[in-house]
Amino acid sequence: MFIGVDDSHDSVAAHVSSLPYELLIDILSRLPGKSLMRFKSVSKHWLSLIREDAHLMDLHFSRSKSRPVLLHINPLPEVGLSTSNTVQQRISCGEISGGEEQVEEITSEVRITDDKWFLYDHILEPVNGLVCFVHWKTYAIRVYNASTRQETPWVKSTLLAEENCKLTYKDSKMKIKSLRNPVYRFGFDPEYKEHKVFCFWRLVSRPQRRHNNSLDRPDYESWEALTVGQDTKWRRINAVPNKNNQIEIKQALPPASCSRRQVYADGTIYWSNKEYRSDAFRYSNPDDPDVIVAFDVGSEKYRVIPVPKFILDEPRDETFRVPIGMLVLGTHVALLYRMEPNVVKLWMLDDGADKKLENCGRESNTNWRSETITLPFCCDNGFDGFGIAGCSDKILFESRVRKNSELFTCLYSYDRVKKSCKKIEMDGVSSFTSYSDASLLATFTESLFPVQPLDKTS
Protein backbone atom coordinates (compact mmCIF):
# COMPACT_ATOMS: atom_id res chain seq x y z
CA MET A 1 0.00 0.00 0.00
CA PHE A 2 1.21 3.48 -0.87
CA ILE A 3 0.09 6.39 1.27
CA GLY A 4 -0.20 9.43 -0.97
CA VAL A 5 -0.40 13.03 0.09
CA ASP A 6 -3.88 13.33 -1.45
CA ASP A 7 -5.34 10.29 0.31
CA SER A 8 -8.17 11.18 2.68
CA HIS A 9 -8.09 9.91 6.25
CA ASP A 10 -11.24 7.85 5.73
CA SER A 11 -9.94 6.03 2.65
CA VAL A 12 -6.57 5.39 4.26
CA ALA A 13 -8.26 4.07 7.41
CA ALA A 14 -10.32 1.69 5.27
CA HIS A 15 -7.15 0.23 3.74
CA VAL A 16 -5.50 0.00 7.14
CA SER A 17 -8.13 -2.28 8.62
CA SER A 18 -7.21 -5.06 6.18
CA LEU A 19 -3.43 -4.93 6.71
CA PRO A 20 -1.77 -7.66 8.80
CA TYR A 21 -0.09 -6.39 11.98
CA GLU A 22 3.47 -7.32 10.94
CA LEU A 23 3.10 -5.66 7.54
CA LEU A 24 1.73 -2.47 9.06
CA ILE A 25 4.55 -2.31 11.62
CA ASP A 26 7.10 -2.89 8.85
CA ILE A 27 5.68 0.01 6.82
CA LEU A 28 5.43 2.46 9.71
CA SER A 29 8.91 1.66 11.01
CA ARG A 30 10.46 2.88 7.76
CA LEU A 31 8.92 6.37 7.98
CA PRO A 32 10.60 9.45 9.47
CA GLY A 33 9.25 10.85 12.70
CA LYS A 34 7.52 13.81 11.05
CA SER A 35 5.37 11.49 8.91
CA LEU A 36 4.46 9.31 11.88
CA MET A 37 3.30 12.32 13.85
CA ARG A 38 0.93 13.24 11.01
CA PHE A 39 -0.35 9.68 10.70
CA LYS A 40 -1.44 9.53 14.35
CA SER A 41 -4.66 11.17 13.16
CA VAL A 42 -5.37 8.51 10.51
CA SER A 43 -7.15 6.20 12.97
CA LYS A 44 -7.31 5.30 16.64
CA HIS A 45 -5.50 2.06 15.79
CA TRP A 46 -2.56 3.92 14.24
CA LEU A 47 -2.52 6.38 17.14
CA SER A 48 -2.24 3.49 19.59
CA LEU A 49 0.52 1.80 17.59
CA ILE A 50 2.66 4.93 17.19
CA ARG A 51 2.28 5.94 20.85
CA GLU A 52 2.43 2.59 22.62
CA ASP A 53 3.60 -0.35 20.52
CA ALA A 54 7.02 -1.46 21.84
CA HIS A 55 7.77 -3.55 18.73
CA LEU A 56 7.22 -0.54 16.45
CA MET A 57 9.37 1.68 18.70
CA ASP A 58 12.28 -0.77 18.63
CA LEU A 59 12.08 -1.44 14.88
CA HIS A 60 11.68 2.25 14.02
CA PHE A 61 14.68 3.19 16.18
CA SER A 62 16.82 0.43 14.65
CA ARG A 63 16.04 1.59 11.11
CA SER A 64 16.45 5.26 11.99
CA LYS A 65 20.14 4.63 12.68
CA SER A 66 20.70 4.44 8.92
CA ARG A 67 19.42 8.01 8.48
CA PRO A 68 21.09 10.16 11.16
CA VAL A 69 19.81 13.69 11.64
CA LEU A 70 21.66 16.89 12.46
CA LEU A 71 19.88 18.75 15.27
CA HIS A 72 20.38 22.47 15.96
CA ILE A 73 18.57 24.12 18.90
CA ASN A 74 19.24 27.80 19.45
CA PRO A 75 17.49 30.66 21.28
CA LEU A 76 16.35 33.44 19.01
CA PRO A 77 18.46 36.65 19.38
CA GLU A 78 15.71 38.64 21.09
CA VAL A 79 15.59 36.13 23.94
CA GLY A 80 18.30 38.00 25.83
CA LEU A 81 16.11 41.14 25.95
CA SER A 82 13.01 39.36 27.20
CA THR A 83 11.89 39.37 30.85
CA SER A 84 9.24 36.73 30.26
CA ASN A 85 9.39 33.17 31.57
CA THR A 86 8.85 31.87 28.04
CA VAL A 87 11.08 32.16 25.00
CA GLN A 88 11.24 31.15 21.36
CA GLN A 89 13.70 28.65 19.92
CA ARG A 90 14.90 27.88 16.44
CA ILE A 91 14.91 24.09 16.06
CA SER A 92 16.43 22.67 12.86
CA CYS A 93 16.52 19.01 11.88
CA GLY A 94 18.53 18.09 8.79
CA GLU A 95 19.24 14.83 7.00
CA ILE A 96 22.96 14.21 6.47
CA SER A 97 23.53 13.36 2.82
CA GLY A 98 26.10 13.77 0.09
CA GLY A 99 26.66 16.99 -1.79
CA GLU A 100 29.15 18.69 -4.03
CA GLU A 101 32.83 17.81 -4.06
CA GLN A 102 33.80 20.42 -1.46
CA VAL A 103 30.46 20.97 0.27
CA GLU A 104 28.11 18.52 1.98
CA GLU A 105 24.59 19.87 1.77
CA ILE A 106 21.96 19.20 4.40
CA THR A 107 18.30 19.77 3.70
CA SER A 108 16.74 20.83 6.97
CA GLU A 109 13.31 21.43 8.36
CA VAL A 110 13.27 24.54 10.54
CA ARG A 111 10.69 25.09 13.26
CA ILE A 112 10.28 28.15 15.46
CA THR A 113 8.65 27.27 18.77
CA ASP A 114 5.65 29.18 20.04
CA ASP A 115 5.76 31.46 23.07
CA LYS A 116 5.19 28.55 25.46
CA TRP A 117 8.75 27.27 25.12
CA PHE A 118 10.56 27.12 28.45
CA LEU A 119 13.63 28.87 29.84
CA TYR A 120 16.73 26.77 30.52
CA ASP A 121 20.47 27.18 31.00
CA HIS A 122 22.14 24.07 29.61
CA ILE A 123 21.46 21.20 27.16
CA LEU A 124 22.82 17.66 27.37
CA GLU A 125 23.50 15.99 24.04
CA PRO A 126 20.82 13.75 22.49
CA VAL A 127 20.63 10.11 23.55
CA ASN A 128 18.51 7.86 21.32
CA GLY A 129 16.28 10.71 20.15
CA LEU A 130 15.81 12.48 23.49
CA VAL A 131 17.37 15.74 24.71
CA CYS A 132 17.76 16.80 28.36
CA PHE A 133 17.50 20.47 29.44
CA VAL A 134 18.90 21.78 32.73
CA HIS A 135 17.78 24.78 34.78
CA TRP A 136 20.60 25.67 37.16
CA LYS A 137 18.75 27.96 39.57
CA THR A 138 16.14 25.38 40.53
CA TYR A 139 18.35 22.30 39.98
CA ALA A 140 15.70 20.91 37.62
CA ILE A 141 15.72 18.93 34.37
CA ARG A 142 13.27 18.48 31.54
CA VAL A 143 13.44 15.81 28.80
CA TYR A 144 12.23 16.45 25.24
CA ASN A 145 11.74 14.10 22.28
CA ALA A 146 12.80 16.03 19.18
CA SER A 147 10.75 13.74 16.89
CA THR A 148 7.42 13.46 18.74
CA ARG A 149 7.75 16.90 20.42
CA GLN A 150 6.69 15.41 23.75
CA GLU A 151 8.29 16.74 26.91
CA THR A 152 8.32 16.04 30.61
CA PRO A 153 7.44 18.60 33.28
CA TRP A 154 10.36 20.16 35.15
CA VAL A 155 11.59 17.76 37.84
CA LYS A 156 13.26 19.76 40.61
CA SER A 157 15.79 18.36 43.05
CA THR A 158 14.95 18.72 46.75
CA LEU A 159 18.33 17.43 47.90
CA LEU A 160 19.65 20.71 49.35
CA ALA A 161 16.41 21.40 51.21
CA GLU A 162 16.39 17.87 52.63
CA GLU A 163 20.02 18.12 53.73
CA ASN A 164 19.42 21.45 55.47
CA CYS A 165 16.37 20.02 57.25
CA LYS A 166 18.66 17.43 58.85
CA LEU A 167 20.68 20.10 60.65
CA THR A 168 20.06 20.20 64.40
CA TYR A 169 19.50 23.33 66.51
CA LYS A 170 23.19 23.22 67.43
CA ASP A 171 24.00 23.56 63.74
CA SER A 172 21.56 26.42 63.18
CA LYS A 173 24.36 28.68 61.92
CA MET A 174 25.38 26.11 59.32
CA LYS A 175 24.03 25.73 55.83
CA ILE A 176 24.51 22.93 53.30
CA LYS A 177 25.67 24.31 49.97
CA SER A 178 26.63 22.85 46.60
CA LEU A 179 30.11 23.37 45.15
CA ARG A 180 29.39 25.18 41.89
CA ASN A 181 26.72 23.47 39.77
CA PRO A 182 26.06 19.73 40.08
CA VAL A 183 27.18 17.36 37.32
CA TYR A 184 24.39 16.00 35.08
CA ARG A 185 24.68 12.87 32.93
CA PHE A 186 22.14 11.41 30.47
CA GLY A 187 21.93 7.85 29.15
CA PHE A 188 19.82 4.86 28.09
CA ASP A 189 19.42 1.37 29.52
CA PRO A 190 19.08 -0.95 26.47
CA GLU A 191 17.88 -3.89 28.56
CA TYR A 192 14.79 -2.16 29.98
CA LYS A 193 14.48 0.50 27.23
CA GLU A 194 14.69 3.35 29.74
CA HIS A 195 16.32 6.78 29.61
CA LYS A 196 17.92 7.94 32.85
CA VAL A 197 19.31 11.25 34.10
CA PHE A 198 21.99 11.27 36.80
CA CYS A 199 23.11 14.14 39.01
CA PHE A 200 26.33 14.25 41.06
CA TRP A 201 26.56 16.70 43.99
CA ARG A 202 29.58 17.87 45.98
CA LEU A 203 28.30 19.38 49.21
CA VAL A 204 29.80 21.47 52.00
CA SER A 205 28.47 22.60 55.38
CA ARG A 206 29.67 26.13 56.15
CA PRO A 207 28.57 28.92 58.51
CA GLN A 208 26.19 31.21 56.60
CA ARG A 209 28.26 34.33 57.24
CA ARG A 210 31.60 32.79 56.58
CA HIS A 211 33.12 33.42 53.16
CA ASN A 212 36.26 31.42 52.64
CA ASN A 213 37.91 29.79 49.70
CA SER A 214 36.57 26.30 50.35
CA LEU A 215 35.27 25.34 46.94
CA ASP A 216 37.83 22.58 46.50
CA ARG A 217 37.14 20.95 49.88
CA PRO A 218 33.76 19.17 49.78
CA ASP A 219 32.46 17.55 52.96
CA TYR A 220 30.68 14.76 51.13
CA GLU A 221 29.18 13.68 47.80
CA SER A 222 25.71 12.52 46.80
CA TRP A 223 24.21 10.96 43.67
CA GLU A 224 20.65 11.27 42.37
CA ALA A 225 18.91 9.47 39.51
CA LEU A 226 15.71 9.93 37.52
CA THR A 227 14.16 7.31 35.24
CA VAL A 228 12.34 9.14 32.43
CA GLY A 229 8.67 8.22 32.17
CA GLN A 230 8.63 6.51 35.57
CA ASP A 231 10.12 8.62 38.36
CA THR A 232 8.24 11.77 39.30
CA LYS A 233 11.02 12.93 41.61
CA TRP A 234 14.76 12.40 42.02
CA ARG A 235 15.88 9.33 43.98
CA ARG A 236 19.13 8.94 45.91
CA ILE A 237 21.51 6.25 44.66
CA ASN A 238 24.83 4.84 45.78
CA ALA A 239 27.01 5.01 42.68
CA VAL A 240 29.60 2.39 43.57
CA PRO A 241 32.47 1.07 41.41
CA ASN A 242 32.48 -2.21 39.53
CA LYS A 243 34.99 -4.89 40.42
CA ASN A 244 38.73 -4.37 39.85
CA ASN A 245 38.39 -0.60 39.77
CA GLN A 246 41.59 1.15 40.85
CA ILE A 247 40.64 4.84 40.98
CA GLU A 248 37.92 6.34 43.15
CA ILE A 249 35.16 8.43 41.67
CA LYS A 250 36.30 11.38 43.82
CA GLN A 251 39.49 11.61 41.78
CA ALA A 252 37.63 11.19 38.50
CA LEU A 253 35.17 14.00 39.24
CA PRO A 254 37.17 17.13 40.15
CA PRO A 255 35.18 20.19 41.30
CA ALA A 256 35.12 21.80 37.84
CA SER A 257 33.94 18.71 36.03
CA CYS A 258 30.38 19.95 35.43
CA SER A 259 31.40 21.25 32.00
CA ARG A 260 32.99 18.01 30.81
CA ARG A 261 31.18 16.74 27.75
CA GLN A 262 29.76 13.22 27.86
CA VAL A 263 29.27 10.68 25.10
CA TYR A 264 26.96 7.66 25.15
CA ALA A 265 27.31 4.20 23.60
CA ASP A 266 25.63 0.82 24.21
CA GLY A 267 24.31 1.48 27.69
CA THR A 268 27.39 3.35 28.95
CA ILE A 269 28.00 7.06 29.55
CA TYR A 270 31.63 8.12 29.06
CA TRP A 271 33.44 11.30 29.99
CA SER A 272 37.03 12.39 30.40
CA ASN A 273 38.14 14.14 33.58
CA LYS A 274 40.70 16.10 31.52
CA GLU A 275 39.32 18.08 28.64
CA TYR A 276 40.41 21.39 27.13
CA ARG A 277 37.29 23.55 27.51
CA SER A 278 37.59 27.22 28.54
CA ASP A 279 36.97 27.58 32.29
CA ALA A 280 37.18 23.81 32.89
CA PHE A 281 40.82 23.84 31.82
CA ARG A 282 41.68 26.72 34.16
CA TYR A 283 40.33 24.85 37.16
CA SER A 284 41.86 21.46 36.27
CA ASN A 285 44.31 20.08 38.76
CA PRO A 286 47.46 18.74 37.03
CA ASP A 287 47.73 16.12 39.78
CA ASP A 288 44.34 14.57 38.94
CA PRO A 289 44.72 11.21 37.17
CA ASP A 290 44.08 11.14 33.40
CA VAL A 291 41.12 8.79 33.10
CA ILE A 292 37.88 8.03 31.31
CA VAL A 293 34.87 7.46 33.55
CA ALA A 294 32.48 4.78 32.21
CA PHE A 295 29.09 4.87 33.94
CA ASP A 296 26.75 1.92 33.31
CA VAL A 297 23.18 3.20 33.01
CA GLY A 298 21.47 -0.07 33.92
CA SER A 299 23.45 -1.06 37.02
CA GLU A 300 24.15 2.58 38.03
CA LYS A 301 27.77 1.66 38.73
CA TYR A 302 30.94 3.08 37.25
CA ARG A 303 34.33 2.01 35.97
CA VAL A 304 37.42 4.21 35.72
CA ILE A 305 39.64 3.59 32.69
CA PRO A 306 43.20 4.99 32.98
CA VAL A 307 44.58 6.65 29.85
CA PRO A 308 47.83 4.76 28.99
CA LYS A 309 51.18 6.42 29.55
CA PHE A 310 52.20 6.09 25.88
CA ILE A 311 49.29 8.38 24.96
CA LEU A 312 50.00 10.90 27.70
CA ASP A 313 53.72 11.03 26.85
CA GLU A 314 53.22 11.78 23.14
CA PRO A 315 55.13 14.92 22.08
CA ARG A 316 52.70 17.81 21.55
CA ASP A 317 52.21 21.43 22.51
CA GLU A 318 51.88 21.64 26.31
CA THR A 319 48.84 23.91 25.89
CA PHE A 320 47.02 21.00 24.24
CA ARG A 321 48.32 18.21 26.46
CA VAL A 322 44.80 17.23 27.53
CA PRO A 323 42.12 15.99 25.06
CA ILE A 324 40.29 18.67 23.10
CA GLY A 325 37.32 16.37 22.55
CA MET A 326 35.71 13.00 23.04
CA LEU A 327 33.49 11.04 20.66
CA VAL A 328 32.09 7.60 19.82
CA LEU A 329 32.92 5.84 16.55
CA GLY A 330 30.93 2.64 16.15
CA THR A 331 31.85 0.50 19.16
CA HIS A 332 34.88 2.63 20.09
CA VAL A 333 35.10 5.57 22.45
CA ALA A 334 37.80 7.98 21.28
CA LEU A 335 39.88 10.82 22.71
CA LEU A 336 40.77 13.65 20.33
CA TYR A 337 44.17 15.33 20.73
CA ARG A 338 45.58 18.32 18.85
CA MET A 339 49.06 17.53 17.50
CA GLU A 340 49.66 20.52 15.20
CA PRO A 341 47.55 23.57 14.21
CA ASN A 342 45.69 21.55 11.55
CA VAL A 343 46.47 17.96 12.64
CA VAL A 344 44.54 15.97 15.23
CA LYS A 345 44.97 12.42 16.47
CA LEU A 346 42.26 9.98 17.53
CA TRP A 347 43.05 7.41 20.21
CA MET A 348 40.23 4.85 20.03
CA LEU A 349 39.43 2.32 22.75
CA ASP A 350 37.62 -0.95 22.12
CA ASP A 351 35.37 -1.19 25.18
CA GLY A 352 33.31 -4.21 24.16
CA ALA A 353 31.52 -6.38 26.71
CA ASP A 354 34.45 -8.82 26.98
CA LYS A 355 37.01 -6.02 27.51
CA LYS A 356 35.32 -3.72 30.03
CA LEU A 357 37.09 -4.95 33.16
CA GLU A 358 40.35 -5.46 31.26
CA ASN A 359 40.34 -1.77 30.29
CA CYS A 360 40.26 -0.76 33.96
CA GLY A 361 43.78 -2.12 34.48
CA ARG A 362 46.65 0.31 34.39
CA GLU A 363 48.65 -1.88 32.00
CA SER A 364 45.80 -2.40 29.51
CA ASN A 365 47.32 -1.06 26.28
CA THR A 366 46.31 -3.59 23.62
CA ASN A 367 42.76 -2.29 23.13
CA TRP A 368 43.87 1.19 21.99
CA ARG A 369 44.61 2.19 18.40
CA SER A 370 45.30 5.54 16.78
CA GLU A 371 44.43 7.50 13.64
CA THR A 372 45.95 10.80 12.49
CA ILE A 373 43.74 13.32 10.65
CA THR A 374 44.83 16.37 8.66
CA LEU A 375 42.18 19.07 8.33
CA PRO A 376 41.92 22.15 6.07
CA PHE A 377 41.49 24.55 9.01
CA CYS A 378 43.14 25.37 12.33
CA CYS A 379 42.16 23.20 15.31
CA ASP A 380 42.40 25.84 18.00
CA ASN A 381 40.15 26.92 20.87
CA GLY A 382 36.50 26.11 20.27
CA PHE A 383 37.30 23.04 18.16
CA ASP A 384 35.52 19.72 18.76
CA GLY A 385 34.41 16.56 17.01
CA PHE A 386 31.58 14.08 17.33
CA GLY A 387 30.61 10.78 15.76
CA ILE A 388 27.48 9.99 13.78
CA ALA A 389 25.11 7.33 15.13
CA GLY A 390 25.12 4.25 12.91
CA CYS A 391 28.05 5.53 10.80
CA SER A 392 31.59 4.92 12.03
CA ASP A 393 33.22 6.07 8.75
CA LYS A 394 32.37 9.75 9.21
CA ILE A 395 33.18 12.37 11.83
CA LEU A 396 31.68 15.83 12.20
CA PHE A 397 34.09 18.55 13.29
CA GLU A 398 33.01 21.95 14.60
CA SER A 399 35.13 25.07 14.72
CA ARG A 400 33.96 28.17 16.56
CA VAL A 401 34.92 31.65 15.39
CA ARG A 402 33.99 35.09 16.74
CA LYS A 403 32.71 37.73 14.31
CA ASN A 404 31.69 41.19 15.51
CA SER A 405 31.18 40.04 19.13
CA GLU A 406 29.03 37.08 18.01
CA LEU A 407 30.14 33.46 18.22
CA PHE A 408 29.60 31.24 15.17
CA THR A 409 30.10 27.52 14.61
CA CYS A 410 31.25 26.09 11.28
CA LEU A 411 30.70 22.38 10.60
CA TYR A 412 32.81 19.98 8.56
CA SER A 413 32.24 16.36 7.56
CA TYR A 414 35.32 14.12 7.49
CA ASP A 415 35.32 10.80 5.62
CA ARG A 416 37.69 8.38 7.39
CA VAL A 417 37.88 6.05 4.36
CA LYS A 418 38.53 8.68 1.68
CA LYS A 419 40.41 10.96 4.13
CA SER A 420 38.51 13.92 2.69
CA CYS A 421 36.84 16.85 4.42
CA LYS A 422 33.77 18.82 3.30
CA LYS A 423 32.22 21.95 4.72
CA ILE A 424 28.58 21.48 5.72
CA GLU A 425 25.85 23.83 4.57
CA MET A 426 22.34 23.62 6.00
CA ASP A 427 19.86 25.25 3.63
CA GLY A 428 22.70 27.33 2.20
CA VAL A 429 23.96 28.47 5.61
CA SER A 430 27.54 27.47 6.41
CA SER A 431 27.78 28.80 9.99
CA PHE A 432 25.49 28.68 12.99
CA THR A 433 25.05 31.29 15.71
CA SER A 434 26.12 29.90 19.08
CA TYR A 435 24.87 30.91 22.51
CA SER A 436 27.13 28.77 24.65
CA ASP A 437 25.39 26.29 26.96
CA ALA A 438 21.93 27.34 25.76
CA SER A 439 22.66 26.06 22.22
CA LEU A 440 22.96 22.54 20.88
CA LEU A 441 24.50 21.29 17.65
CA ALA A 442 24.71 17.49 17.43
CA THR A 443 23.62 14.44 15.49
CA PHE A 444 20.82 12.25 16.77
CA THR A 445 18.77 9.19 15.85
CA GLU A 446 15.01 9.62 15.66
CA SER A 447 12.95 7.56 18.09
CA LEU A 448 9.40 7.15 19.37
CA PHE A 449 10.50 6.51 22.95
CA PRO A 450 7.95 8.11 25.32
CA VAL A 451 9.01 10.68 27.91
CA GLN A 452 5.90 10.31 30.07
CA PRO A 453 3.84 7.33 31.31
CA LEU A 454 1.76 6.06 28.42
CA ASP A 455 -1.57 6.88 30.07
CA LYS A 456 -0.46 10.54 30.35
CA THR A 457 1.05 10.92 26.89
CA SER A 458 -0.60 13.56 24.77
Least confident of 117-131, 248-262, 404-418: 248-262
- What amino acid is encoded at 167 in this protein? L
Band (pLDDT 50/70/90 cuts) for residue 398 is confident
46 versus 131: the higher-pLDDT residue is: 131
Give the predicted TM-score (pTM) of the model: 0.87
Question: In the prediction, which pLDDT does 243 show?
Answer: 60
Band (pLDDT 50/70/90 cuts) for residue 281 is very low
Q: Which of 290, 343, 280 is nearest to 321 (CA)?
A: 290
Question: In the prediction, which pLDDT does 65 show?
Answer: 87
pLDDT digits (tens, 9 = 90+) for 10-59: 555 556 556 789 999 999 999 988 889 988 888 888 888 999 999 999 99
Band (pLDDT 50/70/90 cuts) for residue 251 is low
**Pairing state of beta strands 420-426 and 103-112?**
parallel
Rounded Cα distance, 204 and 175, in Å: 8
Band (pLDDT 50/70/90 cuts) for residue 256 is very low
All residues at 6 or more sequence positions from 265 whose CB lies less than 8 Å from its CB, including other chains: 328, 331, 333, 351
Question: In the prediction, which pLDDT does 75 show?
Answer: 80
- Region 278-296 average pLDDT: 67
Question: In the prediction, which pLDDT does 270 show?
Answer: 93
Question: In the prediction, which pLDDT does 79 show?
Answer: 46
- Region 256-260 average pLDDT: 55
Question: In the prediction, which pLDDT does 401 show?
Answer: 76
Count of beta carbons in the 10 Å neighbourhood of residue 317: 10
Band (pLDDT 50/70/90 cuts) for residue 282 is very low
pLDDT digits (tens, 9 = 90+) for 67-88: 888 888 888 765 444 556 667 8
Band (pLDDT 50/70/90 cuts) for residue 403 is confident
Rounded Cα distance, 257 and 184, in Å: 10
38 versus 363: the higher-pLDDT residue is: 38
